[in-house]
Structure 1
Amino acid sequence: MKKHAIALSVASLFSVSTFAGDYLGVNYKLVEVSAGSLSAEPAVLEVKYGKMFTNEIALEGRLGFGIADDDDLEADSFVGVFGAYHLDLDAIVTPYGLLGYSRTKLSEGSASESRSDISYGFGANIEIDKKSSINVEYTQLFDKDGLEGTSFSAGWHYSF
Protein backbone atom coordinates (compact mmCIF):
# COMPACT_ATOMS: atom_id res chain seq x y z
CA MET A 1 0.00 0.00 0.00
CA LYS A 2 2.84 2.36 0.88
CA LYS A 3 4.44 1.74 -2.55
CA HIS A 4 1.14 2.62 -4.26
CA ALA A 5 0.89 5.88 -2.31
CA ILE A 6 4.45 6.84 -3.25
CA ALA A 7 3.87 5.92 -6.92
CA LEU A 8 0.64 7.95 -6.96
CA SER A 9 2.41 10.95 -5.40
CA VAL A 10 5.23 10.82 -7.96
CA ALA A 11 2.77 10.39 -10.85
CA SER A 12 0.80 13.43 -9.71
CA LEU A 13 3.93 15.56 -10.10
CA PHE A 14 3.81 14.83 -13.83
CA SER A 15 0.07 15.07 -14.37
CA VAL A 16 -1.39 17.44 -16.93
CA SER A 17 -3.02 19.56 -14.23
CA THR A 18 0.38 20.31 -12.68
CA PHE A 19 1.45 22.16 -15.85
CA ALA A 20 -1.95 23.19 -17.16
CA GLY A 21 -2.45 26.87 -17.73
CA ASP A 22 -4.78 28.76 -20.00
CA TYR A 23 -3.88 31.94 -21.82
CA LEU A 24 -5.58 34.53 -23.96
CA GLY A 25 -4.01 36.88 -26.48
CA VAL A 26 -4.98 39.72 -28.80
CA ASN A 27 -2.79 40.52 -31.80
CA TYR A 28 -2.70 43.02 -34.63
CA LYS A 29 -1.77 40.88 -37.64
CA LEU A 30 -0.46 42.33 -40.90
CA VAL A 31 -1.10 39.72 -43.60
CA GLU A 32 0.98 39.86 -46.77
CA VAL A 33 -0.67 38.14 -49.71
CA SER A 34 1.48 37.79 -52.82
CA ALA A 35 1.13 36.30 -56.29
CA GLY A 36 4.31 36.74 -58.31
CA SER A 37 5.24 40.43 -58.29
CA LEU A 38 1.82 41.55 -56.99
CA SER A 39 1.21 41.89 -53.26
CA ALA A 40 -1.21 43.39 -50.76
CA GLU A 41 -1.13 43.81 -46.97
CA PRO A 42 -4.56 43.78 -45.30
CA ALA A 43 -4.71 43.79 -41.48
CA VAL A 44 -6.50 41.42 -39.10
CA LEU A 45 -7.39 41.68 -35.41
CA GLU A 46 -6.77 38.21 -33.96
CA VAL A 47 -7.84 36.64 -30.67
CA LYS A 48 -6.16 33.43 -29.50
CA TYR A 49 -6.93 31.06 -26.66
CA GLY A 50 -4.37 28.47 -25.58
CA LYS A 51 -3.94 25.64 -23.12
CA MET A 52 -0.51 24.62 -21.78
CA PHE A 53 -0.31 20.83 -21.38
CA THR A 54 3.32 20.80 -20.17
CA ASN A 55 5.85 23.55 -19.51
CA GLU A 56 6.69 23.51 -23.23
CA ILE A 57 3.66 22.26 -25.20
CA ALA A 58 0.42 24.14 -25.84
CA LEU A 59 -2.60 23.91 -28.13
CA GLU A 60 -4.10 27.17 -29.48
CA GLY A 61 -7.27 28.17 -31.25
CA ARG A 62 -7.22 31.46 -33.16
CA LEU A 63 -9.92 33.63 -34.71
CA GLY A 64 -9.42 36.89 -36.57
CA PHE A 65 -11.40 39.45 -38.53
CA GLY A 66 -10.25 41.96 -41.13
CA ILE A 67 -9.91 45.53 -39.85
CA ALA A 68 -8.04 47.29 -42.69
CA ASP A 69 -7.97 46.71 -46.45
CA ASP A 70 -5.08 47.17 -48.84
CA ASP A 71 -6.33 48.64 -52.12
CA ASP A 72 -9.12 46.25 -53.09
CA LEU A 73 -7.94 43.16 -51.19
CA GLU A 74 -9.44 42.43 -47.79
CA ALA A 75 -8.73 39.63 -45.30
CA ASP A 76 -12.29 38.92 -44.14
CA SER A 77 -11.54 36.25 -41.54
CA PHE A 78 -8.91 33.92 -40.19
CA VAL A 79 -9.32 30.66 -38.25
CA GLY A 80 -6.49 28.42 -37.07
CA VAL A 81 -5.52 25.62 -34.73
CA PHE A 82 -1.86 25.38 -33.72
CA GLY A 83 0.44 23.34 -31.57
CA ALA A 84 3.09 25.50 -29.93
CA TYR A 85 6.44 24.51 -28.47
CA HIS A 86 7.83 27.05 -25.97
CA LEU A 87 11.59 26.84 -25.41
CA ASP A 88 11.94 28.23 -21.85
CA LEU A 89 8.98 29.38 -19.78
CA ASP A 90 11.15 30.71 -16.93
CA ALA A 91 12.95 33.34 -19.05
CA ILE A 92 11.85 36.94 -19.60
CA VAL A 93 11.86 36.24 -23.36
CA THR A 94 10.18 32.96 -24.30
CA PRO A 95 10.71 31.97 -27.96
CA TYR A 96 8.33 29.43 -29.49
CA GLY A 97 7.55 27.58 -32.70
CA LEU A 98 4.11 26.91 -34.21
CA LEU A 99 2.70 24.18 -36.42
CA GLY A 100 -0.95 23.90 -37.35
CA TYR A 101 -3.67 24.41 -39.90
CA SER A 102 -5.39 27.65 -40.84
CA ARG A 103 -8.04 29.04 -43.15
CA THR A 104 -7.98 32.61 -44.42
CA LYS A 105 -10.93 34.15 -46.27
CA LEU A 106 -9.95 36.88 -48.73
CA SER A 107 -12.14 39.14 -50.85
CA GLU A 108 -11.57 41.52 -53.71
CA GLY A 109 -14.59 43.57 -54.64
CA SER A 110 -17.57 41.21 -54.78
CA ALA A 111 -15.44 38.06 -55.28
CA SER A 112 -14.16 36.07 -52.31
CA GLU A 113 -12.28 32.83 -51.73
CA SER A 114 -10.79 30.90 -48.84
CA ARG A 115 -7.27 29.53 -48.59
CA SER A 116 -6.52 26.65 -46.22
CA ASP A 117 -3.11 25.12 -45.64
CA ILE A 118 -0.66 23.74 -43.11
CA SER A 119 0.71 26.77 -41.29
CA TYR A 120 3.89 27.27 -39.32
CA GLY A 121 5.77 30.07 -37.66
CA PHE A 122 7.82 31.34 -34.77
CA GLY A 123 7.57 34.10 -32.23
CA ALA A 124 8.42 35.28 -28.75
CA ASN A 125 6.59 36.37 -25.62
CA ILE A 126 8.36 39.14 -23.71
CA GLU A 127 7.32 39.15 -20.06
CA ILE A 128 5.79 42.31 -18.57
CA ASP A 129 4.88 40.61 -15.28
CA LYS A 130 4.10 37.04 -14.15
CA LYS A 131 0.71 37.01 -15.91
CA SER A 132 1.13 39.18 -19.02
CA SER A 133 3.56 39.67 -21.87
CA ILE A 134 3.86 41.37 -25.22
CA ASN A 135 4.10 39.12 -28.24
CA VAL A 136 5.69 39.23 -31.70
CA GLU A 137 5.22 36.52 -34.31
CA TYR A 138 5.82 35.53 -37.94
CA THR A 139 3.55 32.93 -39.56
CA GLN A 140 3.42 31.25 -42.99
CA LEU A 141 -0.36 30.94 -43.48
CA PHE A 142 -0.67 29.38 -46.94
CA ASP A 143 1.37 28.76 -50.06
CA LYS A 144 -0.45 27.03 -52.90
CA ASP A 145 -1.73 27.64 -56.41
CA GLY A 146 0.66 30.57 -56.91
CA LEU A 147 -0.72 32.52 -53.95
CA GLU A 148 1.25 32.93 -50.73
CA GLY A 149 0.09 34.37 -47.41
CA THR A 150 2.40 35.29 -44.55
CA SER A 151 1.83 37.42 -41.48
CA PHE A 152 3.69 39.45 -38.91
CA SER A 153 1.84 40.24 -35.71
CA ALA A 154 2.32 42.00 -32.41
CA GLY A 155 0.07 41.97 -29.40
CA TRP A 156 -0.64 41.19 -25.77
CA HIS A 157 -0.77 37.81 -24.02
CA TYR A 158 -2.36 37.07 -20.61
CA SER A 159 -1.93 33.82 -18.64
CA PHE A 160 -4.66 32.74 -16.22
Structure 2
Amino acid sequence: MRVFAGAAALLVLMPSLSVADDGFIGINYTQLEQDDRFFRGDRFDTGEIFVRLGAHINEYVSAEMRLGTTLSDHSENNAEYRFNYHAGGYLSLGYQLGLVRPYALVGFTAGEEEFEGASWSFKNTIEDVSYGVGADFIFGERLGVNVEYTQYYDIGDVTYKGPSVGLVHQF
Protein backbone atom coordinates (compact mmCIF):
# COMPACT_ATOMS: atom_id res chain seq x y z
CA MET A 1 0.00 0.00 0.00
CA ARG A 2 2.80 2.44 0.84
CA VAL A 3 4.55 1.75 -2.48
CA PHE A 4 1.29 2.67 -4.21
CA ALA A 5 1.07 5.88 -2.13
CA GLY A 6 4.65 6.78 -3.06
CA ALA A 7 4.02 6.19 -6.76
CA ALA A 8 0.84 8.28 -6.56
CA ALA A 9 2.77 11.10 -4.88
CA LEU A 10 5.32 11.10 -7.70
CA LEU A 11 2.55 11.20 -10.31
CA VAL A 12 1.01 14.20 -8.54
CA LEU A 13 4.38 16.00 -8.42
CA MET A 14 5.20 15.51 -12.12
CA PRO A 15 2.54 17.93 -13.49
CA SER A 16 3.57 20.45 -10.83
CA LEU A 17 7.10 20.41 -12.21
CA SER A 18 5.92 21.19 -15.74
CA VAL A 19 3.91 24.30 -14.75
CA ALA A 20 6.47 25.61 -12.28
CA ASP A 21 8.31 28.93 -12.57
CA ASP A 22 11.84 27.51 -12.73
CA GLY A 23 13.41 24.10 -12.39
CA PHE A 24 16.59 22.66 -10.96
CA ILE A 25 18.68 19.54 -11.19
CA GLY A 26 21.28 18.47 -8.69
CA ILE A 27 23.50 15.72 -7.42
CA ASN A 28 24.18 15.18 -3.71
CA TYR A 29 26.46 12.93 -1.67
CA THR A 30 24.78 11.86 1.58
CA GLN A 31 26.56 10.37 4.58
CA LEU A 32 23.66 8.15 5.67
CA GLU A 33 23.89 7.11 9.32
CA GLN A 34 21.88 4.14 10.44
CA ASP A 35 21.32 1.86 13.39
CA ASP A 36 23.49 -1.23 13.18
CA ARG A 37 21.32 -4.33 12.92
CA PHE A 38 23.97 -6.38 11.11
CA PHE A 39 27.52 -5.70 12.34
CA ARG A 40 27.02 -5.72 16.16
CA GLY A 41 28.00 -2.10 16.63
CA ASP A 42 26.00 0.96 17.57
CA ARG A 43 25.76 2.74 14.20
CA PHE A 44 27.46 2.83 10.83
CA ASP A 45 27.51 5.09 7.77
CA THR A 46 27.12 4.45 4.07
CA GLY A 47 27.76 6.95 1.31
CA GLU A 48 24.75 7.53 -0.90
CA ILE A 49 24.49 9.49 -4.13
CA PHE A 50 21.20 11.16 -5.06
CA VAL A 51 20.13 12.79 -8.32
CA ARG A 52 17.54 15.51 -7.69
CA LEU A 53 15.05 16.96 -10.18
CA GLY A 54 12.61 19.63 -9.12
CA ALA A 55 11.04 23.01 -9.65
CA HIS A 56 9.97 26.05 -7.69
CA ILE A 57 6.18 26.11 -8.01
CA ASN A 58 6.09 29.64 -6.61
CA GLU A 59 8.46 31.76 -4.51
CA TYR A 60 7.75 29.63 -1.40
CA VAL A 61 6.96 26.05 -2.51
CA SER A 62 9.10 23.58 -4.47
CA ALA A 63 8.48 20.01 -5.61
CA GLU A 64 11.29 17.52 -6.08
CA MET A 65 11.93 13.91 -7.08
CA ARG A 66 15.06 12.00 -6.05
CA LEU A 67 16.68 8.78 -7.13
CA GLY A 68 19.77 7.35 -5.46
CA THR A 69 21.92 4.38 -4.59
CA THR A 70 24.83 3.44 -2.35
CA LEU A 71 28.14 4.74 -3.59
CA SER A 72 30.19 3.52 -0.61
CA ASP A 73 29.06 0.16 0.84
CA HIS A 74 29.68 -0.67 4.47
CA SER A 75 31.84 -3.81 4.65
CA GLU A 76 33.00 -5.59 7.77
CA ASN A 77 34.04 -9.20 8.57
CA ASN A 78 33.31 -10.54 5.05
CA ALA A 79 29.84 -8.98 5.08
CA GLU A 80 28.49 -6.06 3.05
CA TYR A 81 25.54 -3.68 3.40
CA ARG A 82 24.15 -1.34 0.74
CA PHE A 83 21.04 0.30 -0.66
CA ASN A 84 20.16 -0.91 -4.14
CA TYR A 85 18.00 2.18 -4.67
CA HIS A 86 16.24 5.09 -2.98
CA ALA A 87 13.37 6.96 -4.67
CA GLY A 88 11.22 9.73 -3.32
CA GLY A 89 8.99 12.71 -3.88
CA TYR A 90 9.19 15.80 -1.66
CA LEU A 91 7.66 19.23 -1.16
CA SER A 92 9.70 22.02 0.38
CA LEU A 93 8.82 25.36 1.88
CA GLY A 94 11.52 28.03 1.59
CA TYR A 95 12.32 31.57 0.55
CA GLN A 96 15.18 33.20 -1.38
CA LEU A 97 17.24 35.56 0.82
CA GLY A 98 19.94 37.00 -1.41
CA LEU A 99 22.30 34.16 -2.39
CA VAL A 100 20.78 31.61 0.02
CA ARG A 101 17.42 29.80 -0.06
CA PRO A 102 16.79 28.00 3.26
CA TYR A 103 14.00 25.41 3.23
CA ALA A 104 12.23 22.66 5.14
CA LEU A 105 11.08 19.56 3.27
CA VAL A 106 8.66 16.70 3.75
CA GLY A 107 7.95 13.78 1.48
CA PHE A 108 7.94 10.03 0.99
CA THR A 109 10.95 7.75 0.45
CA ALA A 110 11.02 4.13 -0.69
CA GLY A 111 14.10 2.00 -1.12
CA GLU A 112 15.61 -1.44 -1.08
CA GLU A 113 18.41 -2.38 1.31
CA GLU A 114 20.58 -5.47 0.99
CA PHE A 115 22.92 -7.30 3.36
CA GLU A 116 25.21 -10.13 2.25
CA GLY A 117 27.01 -12.04 4.95
CA ALA A 118 29.10 -15.20 5.03
CA SER A 119 26.21 -17.38 6.24
CA TRP A 120 23.06 -15.44 5.34
CA SER A 121 21.71 -12.60 3.24
CA PHE A 122 18.88 -10.13 3.69
CA LYS A 123 16.89 -7.91 1.32
CA ASN A 124 14.22 -5.51 2.55
CA THR A 125 12.05 -2.74 1.12
CA ILE A 126 11.81 0.41 3.21
CA GLU A 127 9.05 3.03 2.95
CA ASP A 128 8.44 6.01 5.20
CA VAL A 129 7.62 9.69 5.45
CA SER A 130 10.80 11.76 5.28
CA TYR A 131 11.62 15.26 6.50
CA GLY A 132 14.60 17.59 6.66
CA VAL A 133 16.07 21.08 6.44
CA GLY A 134 18.57 22.53 4.03
CA ALA A 135 19.73 25.48 1.98
CA ASP A 136 20.71 26.24 -1.60
CA PHE A 137 23.54 28.74 -2.11
CA ILE A 138 23.36 30.07 -5.68
CA PHE A 139 26.52 31.66 -7.07
CA GLY A 140 26.10 33.47 -10.38
CA GLU A 141 22.94 32.99 -12.37
CA ARG A 142 22.45 29.23 -12.28
CA LEU A 143 25.08 27.18 -10.41
CA GLY A 144 25.09 26.61 -6.68
CA VAL A 145 25.78 24.37 -3.70
CA ASN A 146 23.20 22.50 -1.64
CA VAL A 147 23.54 21.42 2.01
CA GLU A 148 20.88 19.41 3.79
CA TYR A 149 20.11 17.17 6.76
CA THR A 150 17.30 14.67 6.18
CA GLN A 151 15.72 11.80 8.06
CA TYR A 152 14.61 9.38 5.36
CA TYR A 153 13.32 6.53 7.51
CA ASP A 154 12.40 6.00 11.16
CA ILE A 155 10.32 2.95 12.04
CA GLY A 156 10.84 0.92 15.20
CA ASP A 157 14.49 1.03 16.13
CA VAL A 158 15.71 1.50 12.54
CA THR A 159 16.58 5.01 11.31
CA TYR A 160 18.31 6.34 8.21
CA LYS A 161 19.38 9.97 8.46
CA GLY A 162 22.29 12.21 7.69
CA PRO A 163 23.84 15.29 6.14
CA SER A 164 24.41 15.80 2.44
CA VAL A 165 26.24 18.25 0.20
CA GLY A 166 25.94 18.67 -3.53
CA LEU A 167 25.76 20.80 -6.64
CA VAL A 168 22.58 22.34 -8.00
CA HIS A 169 21.91 23.89 -11.39
CA GLN A 170 18.83 26.06 -11.92
CA PHE A 171 17.26 26.30 -15.36
- TM-score of Structure 1 vs Structure 2, range by shorter chain: 0.7 to 0.9
Deviations 1:29-61 (A, max 9, x none): 111111586222111111010021101111100
Query: What per-residue deviation string (whole Å, max 9, x for no partner) do you get for residues 99-152 of structure 1?
Result: 000013211103111211110000011122121110110001111121011021
Give the whole-Å Cα distance in 2 for the aligned partners of 1:82 and 1:49: 10
Evaluate the alpha carbon distance shift between residue 17 and residue 40 of structure 1 in structure 2; reply closer, same or farther with a 3 A threshold: closer
The partner residue of 1:95 within 87, 90, 102 is 102
Q: Which residue of 1 aligns with 2:49?
A: 45
Over the matched positions of the two proteins, sequence identity in percent amounts to 24
Structure 2 partner of 1:23: 24
**Please, what TM-score do these two structures have when normalized by structure 2?**
0.78
| Distance of aligned partners of 1:24 and 1:118 in 2 relative to their CA distance in 1, 3 Å threshold | same
Tell me the equivalent position of 2:112: 105
C-alpha spacing 1:35/1:17, structure 2 compared with 1 (3 Å)? closer
Deviation per CA, 1:62-96: give whole Å up to 9, x if none: 00011111122212211110001112x24112111
2:164 matches 1:149: no
Aligned equivalent of 2:35: 34
Aligned mate of 2:93, from 85, 98, 110: 85
Q: TM-score, normalised by structure 1?
A: 0.83
Number of aligned residue pairs = 144
Equivalent residues of 1:122, 1:137 under 8 A apart? yes
Partner of 1:11: none
CA distance in 2 between partners of 1:146 and 1:137 (Å): 23
The amino acid of 2:52's aligned partner reads K
